[in-house]
């Protein structure tokens, strides 16, 4: 069964450093998302992406964040200058159609900012 994959599974970085989190969505999916989950809290929407453009973003997704689909398979989240409060699990998700349809989540990348 096709699945969303994410790398790395765990990323440790120093405050102020840039990180890139990578995702490979399911191959025939067209809509891509990033969510984050701070330890013990709920999953929060960050951004949705379709047709090489951001469709919607939350207030969390400020100028330090960016997303890119550099080739036909990868979908990346870049955090330009990490802060301690960026420590969280970051989940990538994808679906084939927008709106009322299942989003398939990856296993997540645990980001630890020291």
Partner 1 sequence: GENVEQHPSTLSVQEGDSAVIKCTYSDSASNYFPWYKQELGKGPQLIIDIRSNVGEKKDQRIAVTLNKTAKHFSLHITETQPEDSAVYFCAASRDDKIIFGKGTRLHILP
Q: Which residues form the interface with partner 1 (CB under 8 A)?
A: 4, 31, 33, 35, 41-45, 48, 50, 55-56, 58, 91, 93, 98-108
Which residues fall within 8 angstroms of residue 101, CB to CB, at 6 or more apart?
A: 95
Our CB check for partner 1 shows the closer of 14 and 27 to be: 27
Query: Which value, in Å, is the radius of gyration of the alpha carbons in the chain?
Result: 13
Instruction: Quote the distance between the C-alpha of residue 90 and its chain's center.
Output: 6
Given the complex with partner 1, which of 67 and 93 has the nearer CB atom? 93
> From the CB of 13, what's the least distance to partner 1, in Å?
20
Least Å distance, CB 7 to partner 1, is: 14
Kindly state the smallest distance separating residue 54's Cβ from partner 1, in Å: 11
**Least distance to partner 1 from the beta carbon of 81, Å?**
26
Residue with smaller CB distance to partner 1, 73 or 101: 101
**Tokens 């399911």 found at:** 26
d(CA 24, CA 53): 17
Rounded CA-CA distance 7/98 in Å is: 25
Q: What is each CA distance from 113 to 16, 47, 50, in whole angstroms?
A: 9, 21, 29
Q: Which is nearer to partner 1, 33 or 113 (CB)?
A: 33
């Amino acid at each position: 069964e096709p699945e969303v994959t994410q790398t790395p599974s765990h990323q440790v970085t120093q405050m102020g450093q840039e990180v890139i989190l990578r995702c490979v969505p399911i191959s025939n999916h067209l809509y891509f998302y990033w969510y984050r989950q701070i330890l013990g809290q709920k999953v929060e929407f960050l951004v949705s992406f379709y047709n090489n453009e951001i469709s919607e973003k939350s207030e969390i997704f400020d100028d330090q964040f960016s997303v890119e689909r550099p080739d036909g398979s990868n979908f990346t989240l870049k955090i330009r200058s990490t802060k301690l409060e960026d420590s969280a699990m970051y989940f990538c998700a994808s679906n084939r159609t927008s709106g009322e349809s299942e989003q398939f989540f990856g296993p997540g990348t645990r980001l630890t900012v020291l």
